[in-house]
Amino acid sequence: MFAFKQFTIHQDRCAMKVGTDGVLLGAWARVAHCRNILDIGTGTGLVALMAAQRSQADVLGIDLDADAVAQAAENVAASPWNHRVRIMEMDVRNVNKLLGTDKAFSHPFDAILCNPPYFENSLKCPDAARAMARHTDTLSFDELAGSVARLLSADGEFSVVIPYDRAADMTVSAACYGLFATRQTSVCTKQGARPKRVLMAFTRQGAAYTPDVLCIQDAQHGYTPEYVSLVKDFYLKL
């Protein structure tokens, strides 16, 4: 169990547990203005619930793993936003079938968030569910970008957290489907360290931007003011 300020995540049946990547994405993505939000690969439901806390939007979280979907649904049911967050066992490539037929999600999404599988071509772990959650076999960057392009509203924004060394791959895949970078934040575990993750945002219009860097810890192993400012509405001890 992982307790946040306004909700609790149970995760004993989920392949991928609560981690810094998901928290960063849920806090960094621009969602305040949204009517509807899609969380691809919702896992425990963490990012979907963070998006609900930060907006008044209807939120749809989808995942391929039945156990994760069941547990995420329970986490949502126990949250303050159970009336506007829905969890479904669904492939992102089928979400377009909802548009126009579901009252809550009758329009393209104003924001799409994804903490995607990223250990492409690496040695798989023996647990099948964890392997699916961590590898791009079931959803490559190209397939992800193509799905997002079909589901994103004209002015919507797609936000993703990926390994730092995959940023160029994601940028190329997105551009192939008419999505262009508007923001980029490289994430370092501590000041002076090489970035390990990068938060990226894409829109159909694109925009000139200056990449920035977020360090989680300072040289004394305390949290930096920038990190605290980003996640303080969620972590109990900040």
pLDDT at 131: 45
Structure tokens at 55: 């907006």
Q: Tokens 């397939």 identify what position?
A: 143
Percentage of residues of the chain with pLDDT beyond 70: 91
Sequence-separated (6 or more) residues with CB below 8 Å from residue 38: 59, 60, 61, 62, 92, 95, 109, 111, 112, 113, 151
119 vs 97: which has the higher pLDDT: 97
Residue 39 bridge partners (DSSP): 61, 113
Smallest CA-to-CA distance from 27 within 232, 198, 212 is with 232
Smallest CA-to-CA distance from 72 within 42, 113, 32 is with 42
70 vs 17: which has the higher pLDDT: 70
Q: From CA 110, how far away is CA 229, in angstroms rounded?
A: 24
DSSP label at residue 194: P
117 vs 80: which has the higher pLDDT: 80
Q: How confident is the model at residue 154 (pLDDT cuts 50, 70, 90)?
A: very high
H or E segment and range at residue 123: none
pLDDT at 106: 80
Q: Are 17 and 109 in contact (CB under 8 A)?
A: no
Q: Tokens 């509203």 identify what position?
A: 153
Structure tokens at 69: 């979907």
Q: From CA 109, how far away is CA 99, in angstroms rounded?
A: 9
Distance from first CA to last CA of the chain, Å, rounded?
A: 18
Residue 181 bridge partners (DSSP): 202
Q: Tokens 């730092």 identify what position?
A: 164
Q: From CA 25, how far away is CA 166, in angstroms rounded?
A: 16
Residue 23 bridge partners (DSSP): none
The answer to whether residue 238 scores a pLDDT higher than 70 is yes
Smallest CA-to-CA distance from 170 within 155, 188, 184 is with 184
Domains defined along the chain, listed by start: 2-231 (3.40.50.150)
